[in-house]
């Protein structure tokens, strides 16, 4: 009887131990799975610009789950965030293990840091909230106007889009060199730079940076600061002095020429106790010497009508020249660089190329006739192909020759041929424009992606 009771107790504890072990294993497995799912982070795809009003891709991979086992419960609902689409794809890793990749496309209306975004889903009949990584969205630089940033060596920074400063931004000692660098944003080419020399000061440019032109087709838009020049400013008299006026002209991302001016602010110069008044006349003498030497190098004459006519003549000579084509081309490029106008490709086909193409067409035609008579089929096919290519090239060249171009004297363009219409863009002097239409004293011109109407007198037409 006693043995039977002991056996019963032993069986009971054995079963209890088995059940307990099963529960521990099941709960630990379930907990591990929950932790894995809860730790999943939806990350934005690499190599994409995090800009406003741009469709952005986000990705998350879930291992050991098929797409049919995942259900998105609802689309995202967050202010300034627009849900575009979602896609589930079965994927395999290097070891052959399967899983599901979820691809989400979102768009953000405003700049800022976005966090606490989540996507509610059902994974294997269990509800989960997949969290997005925190991201910072910035404005689309392609839609921004060019800006100036001034950085001083002492850490102060001034921006052209900020309101004018009423009080001096900092104090400096007389005779102390103030070093600062001028930066530009949202441009693809610097056209012109000059400045006014301040009174009672020594003002010099110590370094000039080369700005590589960004071609329109490259579509490279960034918020990066592009250094233009570094200057040194030494105040020679006590008191508050306005920052020197620096003028820049640059081409923005859309091909428009924009004139920029440094913001208005001042610096307060104070007496230097260690300086000797004995040296003051020499300092002032050096200041005026610097003024004379710098003034001739900095200021350039505006682009005159005569300069525009000369540029138009060079374009014309480049088109009609036979053996002097290269020389005319180099002179045109030299003048454009001298006046600070971006050089453009010669879209009109020079007459020498038309003559060469015409000669080739006649030659290939003669060979085609000869091979037809002699029944040389292979050579006939080859020369028919060459003749066809030459005829197409000749037709395109002649069509280009009939296009009208002109040199702009500097004007505003309008949406309609009327001075009462709103002017929506300005084209700088010296730019070559395509003339597409005439309407009385008005013509329609095109420069890059911008086009509009202007007065005929504002354009010097290039002869054909």
Tell me the pLDDT tens digit for each residue of 221-244: 888 899 999 999 988 888 999 998
Instruction: Please give the mean pLDDT across all residues of the chain.
Output: 79
Domain 305-461 sits in CATH at: 2.30.30.40
DSSP state of 263: P
What whole-number distance in Å separates Cα of residue 264 and Cα of residue 248? 15
Residue 421 pLDDT more than 90? no
Name, of 18-27, 216-225, 455-464, the range with top average pLDDT. 455-464
* Residues sharing a CB contact under 8 Å with residue 267, sequence separation 6 or more, in sequence order: 168, 169, 170, 171, 172, 178, 235, 240, 241, 243
**Dist CA 368 CA 313 (whole Å):** 41
CB-based contact 95:102 (threshold 8 Å): no
pLDDT of 143-190, one tens digit each? 888 999 999 999 999 998 888 888 899 999 988 899 999 999 988 888
Burial 32-47 (b: 16+ CB within 10 A, else e): eeeeebeebebeeeee
Q: Delimit the domains of the chain by residue range.
A: 40-137, 141-298, 305-461
Residue 150 CA, chain-centre distance (Å), reads 20
Cβ atoms of 349 and 401 closer than 8 Å = yes
The reply to whether 141-298 shares the fold of 40-137 is: yes
| Region of poorest pLDDT, from 59-63, 292-296, 323-327 | 292-296
Instruction: Please identify which residue in the block is written with the tokens 């291992």.
Output: 63
For the cut 70, the answer to whether the pLDDT of residue 30 exceeds it is no
- The DSSP H or E segment spanning 415 is none
CA 257 – CA 250 distance, rounded (Å): 6
The mean pLDDT value for 396-424 works out to 75
Q: Class assignment of domain 40-137?
A: mainly beta
- Predicted TM-score (pTM) of the model is 0.45
Average pLDDT of the segment spanning 328-341: 81
Q: What pLDDT score was predicted for residue 289?
A: 39
At residue 57 the predicted structure's pLDDT band, cuts being 50, 70 and 90, is: very high
Assigned CATH class of 141-298: mainly beta
**pLDDT 10s digits, 277-310:** 444 444 444 444 333 333 333 334 468 888 898 8
Q: Which of 64-73, 157-166, 275-284, 440-449 has the lowest mean pLDDT?
A: 275-284
| Token pair belonging to 334 | 């030299």
Residue 18 has pLDDT above 80, yes or no: no
Give DSSP secondary structure letters for 173-226: ETT-EEEEEEEEESEEEEEEEEEPPPTTEEEEEEEE---PPPPGGG-------E
C-alpha–C-alpha distance, residues 298 and 193, integer Å? 8
Cβ-Cβ contacts under 8 Å for 260 (sequence gap 6 or more): 146, 147, 148, 160, 184, 247, 248, 249, 250
69: three-class secondary structure by DSSP: helix
The pLDDT-based confidence of 348 (bands split at 50, 70, 90) is low
Residue 14 confidence (pLDDT) above 80: no
What percent of the chain shows pLDDT beyond 70? 77
């Amino acid at each position: 009887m006693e043995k039977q009771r002991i056996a019963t107790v032993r069986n009971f504890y054995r079963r209890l131990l088995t059940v307990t072990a099963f529960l521990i294993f099941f709960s630990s497995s379930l907990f591990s799975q929950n932790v894995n799912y809860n730790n999943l982070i939806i990350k934005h795809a690499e190599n994409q610009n995090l800009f406003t009003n741009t469709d952005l891709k986000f990705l998350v991979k879930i291992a050991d789950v098929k797409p049919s086992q995942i259900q998105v419960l609802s689309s995202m609902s967050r202010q300034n965030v627009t849900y575009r689409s979602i896609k589930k794809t079965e994927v395999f890793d290097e070891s052959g293990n399967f899983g599901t990749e979820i691809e989400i496309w979102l768009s953000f209306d405003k700049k800022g840091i976005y966090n606490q975004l989540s996507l509610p889903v059902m994974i294997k009949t269990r509800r989960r909230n997949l969290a997005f990584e925190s991201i910072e969205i910035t404005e689309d630089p392609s839609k921004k106007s060019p800006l100036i940033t001034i950085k001083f060596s002492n850490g102060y920074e001034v921006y052209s889009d900020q309101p004018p400063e009423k009080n001096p931004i900092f104090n400096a000692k007389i005779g102390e060199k103030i070093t600062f660098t001028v930066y530009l944003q949202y441009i693809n080419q610097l056209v012109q730079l000059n400045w006014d020399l301040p009174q009672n000061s020594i003002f010099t440019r110590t370094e000039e940076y080369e700005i590589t032109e960004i071609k329109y087709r490259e579509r490279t838009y960034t918020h990066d600061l592009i250094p233009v020049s570094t200057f040194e400013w030494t105040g020679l008299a006590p008191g508050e002095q306005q920052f020197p006026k620096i003028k820049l002209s640059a081409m923005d991302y859309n091909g428009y020429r924009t004139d920029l001016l440094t913001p208005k602010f001042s610096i307060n110069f104070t007496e230097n106790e260690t300086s000797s008044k004995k040296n003051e006349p020499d300092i002032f003498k050096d200041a005026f010497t610097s003024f004379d030497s710098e003034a001739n190098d900095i200021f350039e004459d505006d682009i005159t009508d005569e300069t525009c006519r000369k540029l138009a003549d060079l374009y014309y000579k480049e088109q009609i020249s036979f053996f002097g084509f290269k020389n005319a081309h180099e002179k045109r490029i030299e003048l454009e660089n001298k006046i600070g106008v971006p050089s453009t490709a010669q879209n009109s086909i020079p007459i020498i190329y038309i003559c060469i193409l015409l000669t080739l067409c006649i030659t290939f035609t003669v060979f085609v006739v000869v091979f037809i008579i002699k029944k040389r089929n292979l050579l006939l096919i080859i020369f028919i192909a060459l003749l066809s290519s030459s005829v197409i090239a000749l037709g395109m060249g002649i069509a280009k020759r009939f296009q009208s171009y002109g040199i702009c004297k500097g004007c505003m363009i309008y949406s309609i041929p009327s001075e009462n219409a709103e002017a929506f863009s300005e084209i700088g002097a010296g730019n070559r424009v395509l003339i597409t239409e005439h309407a009385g004293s008005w013509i329609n011109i095109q420069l890059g992606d911008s086009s509009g109407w202007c007065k005929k007198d504002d354009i010097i037409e290039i002869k054909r």
